[in-house]
Structure 1
């Protein structure tokens, strides 16, 4: 199946105005050939598409599920002190936009998530994916805080799981104690066909159980 994926890389993709598409092997190198070959073709294309430095890919969607435990809601509010990397609202049926911008300086990607609210201003979450750290992939949320990620394929779903949280001081990465972290964070990307995919985020604490769950369905914006 891996060879089938390679031959499909010349298939037509959605057009992007003023955007140069490049072959991206950064995610692929974090998986075995067998796992990469089990991904649906549409998922393979999304994570093989690299734009030129400073260019962006935009995904538009709708939040269809969100829930918090009492502890999870308070943890999300406290996390605003380091930039608010977790969802804070309970609204469903609201638009969500994700912009992925290539960052040539770091060799990674800057992610911006804009989630509307039924009242008030939308929540904006910034983070950066860097192909570095102990697992080869990490998410930096600001204020020196980063999270190592392990990537896997589970039932044709691309899964990102936290593998430790740390405080970055220059080139030094200091592991944070579990008491200062929300627990295990899992993000999934599941292809739904016809250009749609589902994103889920789950935060599970080893002692307090499920803290946060969010699900949204997206499509790539075509200009």
Structure 2
């Protein structure tokens, strides 16, 4: 049965320092300095930081392909194809440099228009960090560091309706989402996305290499 709770009105935390608080000081300092700098970067209202690169890996099982197509109903947040070598970009903006970050990811395709994915991150909810995909659907995230990479791991999915936050039961979840950020040096980093289901196994894997803006 879905869990229902009403969000309390609390002071929302600036993006600067929020990642360190969630990780803990020791884990935060275990990250490469370049990663810490990216996630400490303050983006003022009206500004935009854009990283450009290319998709280097993309694999999907049959179940992953079906689910990615079904997810188009809520804005297509997952890769729709397995093209590699195509251009990719990530643009990050903010509502006031403090609270919400808006992410726009664009992936080229061999045929047809590029795929564009929108999401928003906010320091809120029971895990302290949530990503909103649109249509009231979101993912509560937990952070950890593994092998020098910063990992955003899905804790649970939820839907927001009329001021209520409805947590999806485990059996209704599409799988465990893990997003990774690993520094390569020289201003480059790997952004990876993995979706795995407890019964269907690995469904989607995508990784792209991006570079810091000049």
TM over 0.5: yes
| Cα pair distance change 1:207/1:49, threshold 3 Å | same
Instruction: Tell me how far apart the structure 2 counterparts of residues 76 and 175 of structure 1 sit (CA, whole Å).
Output: 21
Counterpart in the other structure of 1:38: 30
Instruction: Tell me how far apart the structure 2 counterparts of residues 184 and 23 of structure 1 sit (CA, whole Å).
Output: 25
SS in structure 2 of the partner of residue 134 of structure 1? coil
Instruction: Tell me how far apart the structure 2 counterparts of residues 23 and 83 of structure 1 sit (CA, whole Å).
Output: 25
Name structure 1 gaps, 5 residues minimum: 1-21
Q: State the Cα deviation string for residues 59-84 of structure 1 (Å, max 9, x = none).
A: 00100000000011000000000111
Q: Is 1:55 matched with 2:47?
A: yes
Q: CA deviation at 1:29?
A: 1.6
Q: Is 1:141 matched with 2:133?
A: yes
Counterpart in the other structure of 2:122: 130
Instruction: Tell me how far apart the structure 2 counterparts of residues 206 and 55 of structure 1 sit (CA, whole Å).
Output: 40
Counterpart in the other structure of 2:99: 107
Which of 55, 62, 73 aligns to 1:70? It is 62
Counterpart in the other structure of 2:176: 184
Question: How big is the alpha-carbon RMSD for the aligned residues of Structure 1 and Structure 2?
Answer: 1.6
Whether the 8 Å CA contact 1:106–1:130 is kept in 2: the answer is no
Q: State the Cα deviation string for residues 5-33 of structure 1 (Å, max 9, x = none).
A: xxxxxxxxxxxxxxxxx992121221111
SS in structure 1 of the partner of residue 18 of structure 2? coil
TM-score computed with the length of structure 1 as normaliser: 0.87
Counterpart in the other structure of 1:92: 84
Instruction: Tell me how far apart the structure 2 counterparts of residues 202 and 182 of structure 1 sit (CA, whole Å).
Output: 12
Name structure 2 gaps, 5 residues minimum: 1-13
TM-score computed with the length of structure 2 as normaliser: 0.90
Q: How many residues are treated as equivalent by the alignment?
A: 201
